[in-house]
Amino acid sequence: MNKTALVTGGASGLGFELALLLAKDEYNLVLIDIDAEKLKEAKQEIETNYSVNVQISAKDLSQINISEDIMAEIGNTQIDVLVNNAGFGVFGAFHEVDWNRQAQMLNLHIITTTHLTKLIVEEMVKRGSGRILNLSSLAAFQPGPMMSLYYATKGYILSFSEAIANELKGTGVTVTALCPGPTKTSFQKVVANDSSENKISFNMASAKDVAAYGYKAMNKGKVYAIPGGFNKILATLPRFIPRNSAANIVRKIQEKNREE
């Protein structure tokens, strides 16, 4: 009998690449995403190439209590792997960016990620098995002027994942935080709210490679995973330079990437 994995943001980018890896390993899938059309395309492609069942659900994961709606929809389906991948960024000074958009990001990255994990991990612990992969970011390791809430929420996801991974030792349940650097997905276009691409792209990874790295780390039960040797170095920089200097560097990079 096939196991089942639930992937948020599973219609494209990292979420879709992770879904492909899970399907290859014969997991049935529950894909949640805000984009109904891309979900249909993802379902068709996966079911055409793999002998698995794909359940799709178009939902806005930034809505309060959406996790309860998801659990009600999947009913008694046992979730063996949870991938909290859905997310987006907002570029701009904190005091200038629209609050409603900021609140949506906070709800998605923090409330939905935490609540969905809470609802699923309880059953995993009872069974004595399960894997959780939470999408954090290289941004989790330093402050991020011009994307302050994005960096802060990714820091939350990393800290939360590390803490519950420790609590779950010996239960048969593992938690992994995947912390990629810049990745070639639709993320940058959403951040910029236009069709611009990163100006600084020498360290840009493919979604397929990042997904493969994170999937391998999850299966090994690693607590956190940083793809790429250069990114591992960047993650340690705030330990060796003043935090205000790290913030200045991040701001210059963000502004360079978004300049006209």
Q: List, for residues 155-164, the tens digit of each pLDDT value.
A: 999 999 999 9
Q: List, for residues 35-58, the tens digit of each pLDDT value.
A: 999 999 999 999 999 999 999 999
Mean pLDDT of 78-106: 97
Can you give the pLDDT at residue 33? Answer: 98
Model confidence at 233, pLDDT cuts 50, 70, 90, reads confident
Model confidence at 124, pLDDT cuts 50, 70, 90, reads very high
Find the domain containing 168 and state its range: 4-258
Locate 166 and state its tokens: 């420790």
Neighbours of 166 (CB within 10 A): 10
Mean pLDDT of 152-156: 98
Is the pLDDT assigned to residue 147 strictly greater than 90? Answer: yes
- Counted domains in the chain: 1
Is the pLDDT assigned to residue 248 strictly greater than 90? Answer: no
Can you give the pLDDT at residue 2? Answer: 87
Q: List, for residues 94-113, the tens digit of each pLDDT value.
A: 999 999 999 999 999 999 99
CA gap 30, 74 in Å, rounded: 8
Average pLDDT of the chain?
A: 90
Contact present, 76 and 30 (Cβ < 8 Å) = no
Residue 146: which CATH number?
Answer: 3.40.50.720
Mean pLDDT of 145-153: 96
Q: List, for residues 199-218, the tens digit of each pLDDT value.
A: 445 557 899 999 999 999 99
Can you give the pLDDT at residue 194? Answer: 44
Can you give the pLDDT at residue 195? Answer: 43
SS (H, E, C) the chain: CCCEEEEECCCCHHHHHHHHHHHHCCCEEEEEECCHHHHHHHHHHHHHHCCCCEEEEECCCCCCCHHHHHHHHHCCCCCCEEEECCCCCCCCCCCCCCHHHHHHHHHHHHHHHHHHHHHHHHHHHHHCCEEEEEECCHHHHCCCCCCHHHHHHHHHHHHHHHHHHHHCCCCCEEEEEECCCCEECCHHHHHHCCCCCCCCCCCCEEHHHHHHHHHHHHHHCCCEECCCHHHHHHHHHHHCCCHHHHHHHHHHHHHHHHCC
